[in-house]
Chain A
Amino acid sequence: MFQNMVYSNAFLQTEAVDETTLPWLEDAQKLGEQPAADWVKALRHTGAEAFAHTGFPTPAWEGWQYTHLRPLTGTGFHYAVEAPAFDVNVLPPPLLKDSARVVLINGKYRPELSDAPAGVTVMSLMDASVQIAGIEEHLVTVGDLGKTPFKALNAAYTHDGVVVTVKDGTDVTQLLEVLFYNIGSADHPPALHPRCLYWLGKNSGLTVMERHAGSGVYFSNIYAGIALEPASRLKFYKFEEESAQACHFSYTALQQQKCSSFEGFSYAVGGKLSRQEYQNLLIDSGISSMLAGAYLLKDQQCHDFTVLTDHFEPDGKSVQHFKGVVDDQARSVFQGKIHVRRAAQKTDGNQLNHALLLSEKAEASFKPELEIYADDVKCSHGAASGQLDDEALFYLQSRGIPQQQAKSLLIESFLNTALAEVSFPPVRAVYEERIRAWLRH
C-alpha cells in the first residue's frame, strides 16, 4: 500500500494568518466557483489554509538556510484561470524524433497539441480527478503542508496539470516527452501551479523526458507525484531550462513499491531562482532508486537541489549523484539526505555532490546528511567544491588545445561521471549536446 498521510494540520486553526500571504492566495478563490471532486476542494482548502499561516519560508526554516526568495517574493505573480493566447510556432521542437509529446501551456494540458504513446493514458488533472478511481491517493499524499509552503500553495490552486498512467504489465517502448512551456510577461507575471502524476501499474515500464522551458517572467510551481507499483520501471529525465527571468519550484513526491526501479536525471540550467525538491520514499523491499543531475549556473542564478531518499524496508539501493558548474556570481545549493529506517537492512545508499566553481564570486553550499537506524547497511556521502585544475588546463593547452576549449573539455569530463548514470544513450547524447551548448555561452 502507498503511504496515506493525513492532510489536515491541527495547528492551522490556532495560529494567526500572516497578512503578507493573502495576495498570493486571492486568485485561488476563482477556482472555488468551478465544480470539482470533493477531495480536490478539500485539498485546495487545506493548502490555502496552510500557506495563509506560514507564508514563504525564511532562512530560519530548516532546509531554507541557503536559498533566499527575494526574486520571487519581490514580484507580484498572479494565477490565471485561462491560458494565454499563443503561437504554436514558439514551441521548441521535440528533443528526440520518434517520441510522443504531451504539451502543457502555462501548466494547462493541451490535448490538441499532444499525443500519447501506445499503452499510455494521458488526461488533464481535472478530468482524471473524476474519471480515475483511486487517483486521490496519489495526489493528496502531501505530508505536513505546514512545512512545505510551495506544496501548500500549489495545493491551494489545484486545477491545472496532467495525469499519465500506464496499465499493469505494459512496457511502453515509445519515448514520452512532457513539455511544460510557459509564457511569461513582465506586466502581468503569471503564477503557474500544475499538479501532475505519473502512475505506473505493476510490472510496467516507461521513459519520460520532462522539459520545462518558456519566455519572460513567470513563477512555475509544480507538484509531481510519481507512483511506481511493484516491479514497475521508470526512467525520468528532466530538463529544467526555464527562461532566465523565471522562478522554478518543483516538488517531486516519488513513492516506490516492491522491486520497482527509478532512474532519474535532472539537468538544471534555467531560471533566475529555482529549487527542485525530491522526496523519494522506498516503502518496500528490493527497490532501486537512482537520482542524478547536473546544474550549470551563471550570472546571478540560484539553484537548489533538495533530495530526501527514505528507505523503509530491506535490500534497497539508492543513489544521489549531482555535479554542478557555477560561474559568475551564481549560487548553488545541494541538500541531500539518506534516511535508513530500522527495518531497512542491507541498504546500499550513496550520495555524491561536487561543484566546480568557475569564478571567485561563485558559491556552492552543501548539506549532506545520513540518518541511519539499521545496523547492516552500506552508505556513503561526499560533498566538495573546487576549481578547475590549473595543471590539467596547462597540459591541454601545451598540446595546442585553445584555453576555452581546454576548459570546456575539463568541465565536460567533470560532469561526465554524473551523466554516466543515464543508461539510455540517446538521452545522454541530448544532455551532452546541451552541456556543450551551455559551455559556449
Chain B
Amino acid sequence: MTMLKIENLHATVGGREVLKGINLTVKAGEVHAVMGPNGSGKSTLSYVLAGRPGYEVTKGKVTFMGEDLQALAPEDRAAAGMFLAFQYPVEIPGVSTTAFLKTALNAVRKKRGEKELSPVDFLKLQKEKIAQLDMDTEMLKRGVNVGFSGGEKKRNEALQMAMLQPKLAILDETDSGLDIDALKVVAEGVNALRSKDRAFLVITHYQRLLNHIKPDVVHVLADGKIQKTGGPELALELEEKGYAEFSGDAALRAGAKSK
C-alpha cells in the first residue's frame, strides 16, 4: 500500500525556492533513507511534510494515506499518523516533558477516535518507553528539552515517537549528536517500531545509522531534487565519493571542462 506519494513538489521558504520538483513514493513497511549535502533541502522537505507555516508549496502534490496533505493542519497530520523527529528539537520552558507527552498523546488519541488514557495507564506506558530508550526519568520533570544535551534532545524525539506510534516517521538527522551507544539504543527503538504498517523516511549524513536501520531504498537529494535513487549500496558509495557528482559546483566545473 502506498503511504506517501510526493509528486513534482516545489516549495519556497523565505521567498526562496528550495524544493524544485521532488518525486518520491513510500510504501507501508518500507524504510527510505534520504542523504544529501548541507543546504540541499532535506529539512525543508521534512517541514513541508509536517506542515510548518512559512514553508509554502508552490507546485505539486503530496498524498498521505490517500489524503491530500495540504488541506491538513500540522496537528491533523500528526493525528493521521505523521511524525517528524526534528533536526533541532525546540525548547519549551515551563511545560514539563511529562505534561507535554500526555497532552500530545491524548490529543492524538482523541482525534483518532480513541479513549484518552487514564493517568495510571499513561504513566505505565511512559515508564515502559523510557526504559526501552534507557532515559533518565528525572528529565521528564524538566521543561521540554530545556537544558537537555544534544543527545538527550534526540532521545526525547525518539521517546515521543515511541509514545505516539506514528504510521510514517520522518527522522531528520536523529543520529547526529548521539554517541555510539545512544545511536544503538535509538536505532533499536526505531527497529522495534518497524512493521508492515509503518514506514520511515530517514534523513542522515552517515552510513553508520544505516548499519543499524537497514533501508530498503536510498535517495540522494541535492539542489532541491532527488538526483539518484538506489539500494543500500548507494549509501556506501556516497560515503566513499561524497556528493561532488551531484553538486551544482561539480556540474558547473564539468561543464567548464568540456568547453
**Residues on A close to B: CB < 8 A?**
389-392, 394-403, 405-406, 409-410, 412-414, 416-417
Which 6 residue pairs of A and B lie closest in terms of their CB atoms, listed nearest first?
A413-B94, A400-B78, A400-B108, A399-B104, A397-B74, A395-B90
For residue B183, CB closer than 8 A to chain A, the reply is: no
Q: Which listed residue, B53, B103, B107, touches A394 by the CB 8 Å rule? A: B53
Distance (whole angstroms) from the CB of B166 to the closest CB of chain A: 10
For residue B117, CB closer than 8 A to chain A, the reply is: no
Distance (whole angstroms) from the CB of A256 to the closest CB of chain B: 31
For residue B19, CB closer than 8 A to chain A, the reply is: no
Given A400-B75, A406-B75, 6 extra CB contacts under 8 A: A389-B92, A391-B90, A397-B51, A400-B164, A409-B100, A410-B92
Residues of B contacting A402 with CB < 8 Å? 73, 75, 107
Distance (whole angstroms) from the CB of A423 to the closest CB of chain B: 18
Q: Which B residue sits closest to A414, measured CB to CB?
A: B94
Using an 8 Å CB-CB cutoff, how does the interface string of B19-53 with A read, 1 for contact, 0 for none? 00000000000000000000000000000001111
Known: A398-B50, A413-B95. A392 touches B104 (CB 8 A): no
Pairs A–B under 8 Å by Cβ, sample size 11:
A389-B90, A391-B90, A394-B53, A395-B86, A396-B100, A397-B75, A397-B78, A399-B100, A401-B107, A405-B107, A409-B100
Residues of B contacting A396 with CB < 8 Å? 92, 100, 104
Known: A390-B53, A394-B74, A395-B89. A401 touches B103 (CB 8 A): yes
Whether A398 contacts B84 by the Cβ 8 Å rule is yes
Whether B103 contacts A405 by the Cβ 8 Å rule is yes
Distance (whole angstroms) from the CB of B146 to the closest CB of chain A: 11
For residue B160, CB closer than 8 A to chain A, the reply is: yes
Residues of A contacting B75 with CB < 8 Å? 397-398, 400-403, 406
Known: A394-B74, A414-B94. A401 touches B53 (CB 8 A): no
Residues of A contacting B90 with CB < 8 Å? 389, 391-392, 394-395
Distance (whole angstroms) from the CB of A51 to the closest CB of chain B: 44
Whether A403 contacts B92 by the Cβ 8 Å rule is no
Distance (whole angstroms) from the CB of B72 to the closest CB of chain A: 11
Residues of B contacting A409 with CB < 8 Å? 95, 100, 103
Main secondary structure of the interface of A (DSSP, over half): helix
Distance (whole angstroms) from the CB of A86 to the closest CB of chain B: 41
For residue B248, CB closer than 8 A to chain A, the reply is: no
Interface size grouping (class) on chain B: 20 to 34
Whether A400 contacts B107 by the Cβ 8 Å rule is yes
Q: Which A residue sits closest to B82, measured CB to CB?
A: A398
Give the docked Cα–Cα distance between A403 and B52 (Å). 12
Give the docked Cα–Cα distance between A414 and B77 (Å). 27
Whether B107 contacts A392 by the Cβ 8 Å rule is no
For residue B222, CB closer than 8 A to chain A, the reply is: no
Give the docked Cα–Cα distance between A414 and B107 (Å). 21
Using an 8 Å CB-CB cutoff, how does the interface string of B64-89 with A read, 1 for contact, 0 for none? 00000000011101110001101001
For residue B124, CB closer than 8 A to chain A, the reply is: no
Whether B53 contacts A400 by the Cβ 8 Å rule is no
Give the docked Cα–Cα distance between A417 and B93 (Å). 10
Whether B107 contacts A416 by the Cβ 8 Å rule is no
Residues of B contacting A394 with CB < 8 Å? 50, 52-53, 74, 90
Give the docked Cα–Cα distance between A399 and B101 (Å). 9
Total contacts A to B, CB within 8 angstroms? Answer: 75
Give the docked Cα–Cα distance between A148 and B167 (Å). 65
**Residues on B close to A: CB < 8 A?**
50-53, 73-75, 77-79, 83-84, 86, 89-95, 100, 103-105, 107-108, 111, 143, 160, 164
Q: Which A residue sits closest to B86, measured CB to CB?
A: A395
Q: Which B residue sits closest to A415, measured CB to CB?
A: B94
Distance (whole angstroms) from the CB of B43 to the closest CB of chain A: 13
Q: Among the interface residues A391, A400, A402, A406, which one has the most CB atoms of the partner chain B within 10 A?
A: A400
Q: Which A residue sits closest to B78, measured CB to CB?
A: A400
Give the docked Cα–Cα distance between A401 and B107 (Å). 6
Q: Which B residue sits closest to A404, measured CB to CB?
A: B75
Give the docked Cα–Cα distance between A392 and B91 (Å). 7
Whether B94 contacts A416 by the Cβ 8 Å rule is yes
Give the docked Cα–Cα distance between A253 and B8 (Å). 69
Residues of B contacting A401 with CB < 8 Å? 75, 103-104, 107
Distance (whole angstroms) from the CB of A323 to the closest CB of chain B: 11
Known: A397-B73, A399-B160. A413 touches B92 (CB 8 A): yes
Give the docked Cα–Cα distance between A172 and B100 (Å). 39
Residues of A contacting B79 with CB < 8 Å? 400
Residues of B contacting A405 with CB < 8 Å? 103, 107
Distance (whole angstroms) from the CB of A304 to the closest CB of chain B: 26
Residues of A contacting B164 with CB < 8 Å? 399-400
Give the docked Cα–Cα distance between A414 and B74 (Å). 23
Distance (whole angstroms) from the CB of A432 to the closest CB of chain B: 12
Q: Among the interface residues A394, A410, A417, which one has the most CB atoms of the partner chain B within 10 A?
A: A394
Give the docked Cα–Cα distance between A390 and B54 (Å). 10
Distance (whole angstroms) from the CB of A184 to the closest CB of chain B: 37
Give the docked Cα–Cα distance between A162 and B170 (Å). 64
Q: Which B residue sits closest to A416, measured CB to CB?
A: B94
Residues of A contacting B53 with CB < 8 Å? 390, 394
Q: Which A residue sits closest to B80, measured CB to CB?
A: A400
Residues of A contacting B103 with CB < 8 Å? 401, 405, 409
Give the docked Cα–Cα distance between A416 and B104 (Å). 20
Distance (whole angstroms) from the CB of B226 to the closest CB of chain A: 24
Residues of A contacting B91 with CB < 8 Å? 392
Distance (whole angstroms) from the CB of B97 to the closest CB of chain A: 12
